[in-house]
Amino acid sequence: MGIFDKYQSLKTTRDELDALGIDPFSVKIDRIISPTEGIIHGRPTILAGTNNYLGLTFNPECIAAARTALENEGTGTTGSRMANGSYSGHRLLEQEIAAFYGKRDAIVFSTGYQANLGILAALAGPGDVVLLDADCHASLYDGCRLGGAEVIRFRHNNPEDLAKRMRRLGERAANTLILVEGIYSMLGDRAPLKEIIEVKREFGGYLLVDEAHSLGVLGETGQGLAEELGLLDEVDFVVGTFSKSLGGAGGFCVSDHPELDLIRYSSRPYIFTASPAPATIASTRQALRLLAAGKHLRKRLMANAEQLHAGLTSLGYTLGAPPSPVVAVVLDGKIEALQFWSNLLQHGVYVNLMLPPATPNGVSLIRCSVSAAHTPEQIDAVCAAFAELRELA
């Protein structure tokens, strides 16, 4: 077998897209106008697929903080945190994100993907057991693979199935690591965290919650689902990303376990990756201050999410979950979804197309992500585009 033979099925899929003249995975935004507007194919386009939940990418205070760091500290660190890449801002951000969550300490990584990769590979190695929700993000799966732990999947959002699998583990259940997400990125549904924690109380183990899509979205202060349900003290590790609500790049883990600091010395994605650029750290710190300062952005975000969800529901579309910043429309098949995505773009609306095998249960999804920066008029325009395509279907 040749080294490239394994790509044959992928080539076949790519050839199918080329035959349709649709390429949803290489869209180039020619110019960014605002957090919610851009120029694509020469047309003004509403950006409804960016995960820019709080719309902070153009916030003047974040830009000013990044500019100051750029001028004072340069364009990059050119090294890992353990070599020459830890500047004062890196540690300050760790202290600030830990204080935001009321946790003992935090570790900051270069991306959200690396946060999951680095934490899980260090936490769970050969001889350890990880139980993860079947719909968890690829980065969680990849972290488990890198560490070499035994991985057991339980059915999505099914605490009873988790309990059954922990019961089978017997005494080993007390040392397992359970992985769930606050808001799942594909459908926008939430983990039944209260019930998951009840299983943990019964059998033991440690709980890691990925709040990537719920940071800045849920909870009184925007900490995520665990805060909204009053369960943050029951969570051993919270991981998340700065690339969504905080409008930057990077990832983190916070915990009350004193051993968290030791992970720095055993996490390969932390040890061997260049640290985040000073400008990115500075803008993230400012975005975190804005997030912690008030609720108005979250209220605006949820109002927009409810407006879009209600509008698409009234048009007769099947949606993946109750209102959240992720509003996923379920379509019948891959070809239909491809054409629908392309037609939306021609109508001036950019969203995400999600196809099997990446999607739950093999469905095809048109995935909208709502921002606090969207105006009610933009949400109406998105609904109008869906309405016109509904009539053409």
- Report, as residue numbers or ranges, the catalytic residues: 185, 213, 244
CA distances from 30 to 37, 38, 55, 351 (A): 11, 7, 19, 16
Paired tokens of 279? 């400008």
Peptide bond connecting 60 to the previous residue in cis, omega within 30 degrees of 0: no
Strand 237-241, strand 129-133: pairing:
unpaired
3-state SS of the chain is: CCCCHHHHHHHHHHHHHHHHCCCCCCCCCCEEEECCEEEECCEEEEECCCCCCCCHHHCHHHHHHHHHHHHHHCCCCCCECCCCCCCHHHHHHHHHHHHHHCCCEEEEECCHHHHHHHHHHHHCCCCCEEEEECCCCHHHHHHHHHHCCEEEEECCCCHHHHHHHHHHHHHHHHHCEEEEECECCCCCCECCHHHHHHHHHHHCCEEEEECCCCCCCCCCCCCCHHHHCCCHHHCCEEEEECCCCCCCCCEEEEECCCCHHHHCCCCHHHHCCECCCHHHHHHHHHHHHHHHHCCHHHHHHHHHHHHHHHHHHHCCCCECCCCCCEEEEEECCHHHHHHHHHHHHHCCEECEEECCCCCHHHCEEEEEECCCCCCHHHHHHHHHHHHHHHHHC
